Amino acid sequence: MVFEVLKKSGEVIKTQPPVELLEEEQFDQQFTVTMVTTESSEEIKKKT
């Protein structure tokens, strides 16, 4: 899952919907993540 890649790529600060719903895959087709990372967005996109 994309969220697992994000967690491995940096520190997830906030998600919308909450993490619990993401992990249970109870969300629509979109979600928002605020995170801190040293990787570029291009590097993270390659992993997903």
At residue 3 the predicted structure's pLDDT band, cuts being 50, 70 and 90, is: confident
Q: Measure Cα distances from 2 to 23, 48 in Å.
A: 10, 6
Average pLDDT over all residues of the chain? 91
For the chain, what is the domain count? 1
pLDDT tens, residue by residue, 22-37: 888 898 889 999 999 9
Q: Which domain holds residue 21?
A: 2-47
What DSSP designation does 40 have?
Answer: -
Question: Of all residues in the chain, what percent carry a pLDDT higher than 90?
Answer: 65
Instruction: Read off the pLDDT of each residue in 2-12 and give the average, rounded to a whole number.
Output: 91
- Contact by Cβ (8 Å): 22, 4: no
Task: Kindly report the three-state secondary structure assignment for every residue of the chain.
Answer: CHHHHHHHHCEEEEEECCHHHHHCCCCCCCCEEEEECCCCHHHHHHHC
Question: Of all residues in the chain, what percent carry a pLDDT higher than 70?
Answer: 100
